A and B are shown apart, each in its own frame.
Chain A
Amino acid sequence: MASIRVVHYLNQFFGQIGGEEKADITPFSKEGPVGPGTALENALGNDMSIIGTVICGDTYFNENIDTATEEIVKLIASFKPNLLIAGPAFNAGRYGMACGAVCTAVQERLNIPVLTGMYEENPGADMYKKSIYIVKTGNSAAQMRTAIPAMGRLAIRLAKGEVIGSPAEEGYLARGIRKNVFHAQRGSARAVEILLKKIKGEPFATEYPMPVFDRVTPRPAIKNLSQAKIALVTSGGIVPKGNPDRIESSSASKFGRYDISGINNLTAETFETAHGGYDPVYANQDADRVLPVDVMRKLEQEGIIGQLHNIYYATVGNGTSVANAKKYAHAIGEELKQAQVDGIILTST
């Protein structure tokens, strides 16, 4: 009989409820493992069993972070677990936010070890890696086979209260915690060794990585809105009906530029979304719900803004790598600089 009680948190997709059309379901629980929970339970060995699974829709969670967390912690607590495992969420942003928030809340309030798994670019990773153990995974569910054993290994060690090694040894994302250790070689010798490697152009690992502050200076405000040219950009995938550039529904390989001269309103007949990461029903009915062309035209007519830039730019922000998002934004930015716009509204779903 397994003695360590584990609860598993999943989203609607991995919880086998449905896709984006079910992403607004409220939290509920089931006895035993569900979906990837079966493989996870096998990876946990004989002493541990998944006694329950808590499932919540990603959209519901992210639109109601506080109440959803509250409800989920209650459901998890009712199983009286010794350990919580969430995900893995791979590069799914909303799911990663949910896994991180749920783990952090459970760790604080139920005082039990917690663990999740994510791709390092998941926004949930940046947000929660300092508070909890996040096992580093690949960027898509195709890597489930390697993620599960890695999470299982760390989960066993956490549940048994073992001393957890460094991020590199254990495969989790660095939490920024420094520990004193005895090293066979003294510091000066190690420093010279690293320096020599660096001079020779060989790979070396620093013992003290510098934090990366990836921030931009806020640009000064627009002084006179009634003279300003404003551009619209979206990561919500709004494209002319038929998606002429065939922007992919996830991991988009490109962005599109679309002329909206003379267009005062986006309609179901003329525009749609190419985005595969949210329920497309509402944007397909009226794309102004994501890209507010109708309101911008009205404000232009009323003279509140000088003009709406007649080209808008769109890509699909769904599993998009940070490097690609930056690349597309750079190219879009070059064009908008040429067009001498005074301000940009970027909408995201």
Chain B
Amino acid sequence: MVKELEEVVDVPVVHVCTVVPISLTVGANRIDPAVAIPYPLGNPQLNQDEEFALRRSIVEKALQALSTNVGEQTVF
């Protein structure tokens, strides 16, 4: 999906995912490692504020990936 979106829309796409080796094998160009499979952008053990801050940090990294030129597959 990540490759087809990049090809069709012609804009940068970042893949936020937990199992980075799969994303690398599939061929995502920009990869943002996530927390866990059932909660990539969260952590139920944290309180609400901490969890929001964690999620924000992952999204900010995704935006940083979208704002960075890459020549090859890059894990941020």
**Hey, which bits of chain A sit against chain B, CB under 8 A?**
20, 23, 59, 62-63, 65, 93-94, 97, 123, 126-127, 214-216, 218-223, 225, 228, 230, 233, 235-236, 278-283, 285-286, 288-292, 294-296, 298-299, 304-305, 315, 317, 325-326, 328-330, 332-334, 336-337, 341-349
Say yes or no: is B34 at the interface (Cβ < 8 Å to chain A): yes
**A329 near B41 (CB under 8 angstroms)?**
no
Q: Which residues of B contact A285 (CB under 8 A)?
A: 44
When the two chains form the complex, which single residue of B12, B16, B37 contacts A221, counting CB atoms closer than 8 Å?
Answer: B12
- Which residue of chain A lies nearest to B69 when distances are taken between CB atoms in the complex? A221
Complex Cα distance, B6 from A332, in Å, reads 11
Secondary structure of the B contact surface, majority rule: mixed
**B9 near A282 (CB under 8 angstroms)?**
no
**B38 near A337 (CB under 8 angstroms)?**
no
Q: Which residues of B contact A291 (CB under 8 A)?
A: 41
Q: Which residues of A contact B22 (CB under 8 A)?
A: 93, 97, 123, 127
When the two chains form the complex, which single residue of A97, A214, A281 contacts B21, counting CB atoms closer than 8 Å?
Answer: A97
On chain B, the number of residues with a Cβ less than 8 Å from chain A's Cβ atoms is 52
Q: Which residues of A contact B19 (CB under 8 A)?
A: 62-63, 93-94, 97
**A328 near B1 (CB under 8 angstroms)?**
yes
**B1 near A342 (CB under 8 angstroms)?**
no
**B66 near A294 (CB under 8 angstroms)?**
no
**B38 near A233 (CB under 8 angstroms)?**
no
**B5 near A295 (CB under 8 angstroms)?**
no
- Which residue of chain A lies nearest to B20 when distances are taken between CB atoms in the complex? A65
When the two chains form the complex, which single residue of B37, B55, B69 contacts A288, counting CB atoms closer than 8 Å?
Answer: B55
Interface pairs A-B: 10 shortest CB-CB: A333-B8, A289-B42, A329-B4, A218-B29, A329-B1, A343-B66, A348-B17, A289-B39, A282-B39, A344-B13
Complex Cα distance, B70 from A223, in Å, reads 13
When the two chains form the complex, which single residue of B7, B41, B69 contacts A220, counting CB atoms closer than 8 Å?
Answer: B69
**B38 near A282 (CB under 8 angstroms)?**
yes
Residue-wise interface mask of B (1-36) relative to A, using a CB-CB cutoff of 8 A (1 in contact, 0 not): 111111111111111111101110111011000101
**A216 near B9 (CB under 8 angstroms)?**
no
Q: A281-B38, A299-B59 are in contact. List 9 more A-B contacts (CB 8 A).
A: A23-B37, A65-B21, A127-B25, A219-B29, A220-B69, A235-B1, A285-B44, A292-B41, A343-B63
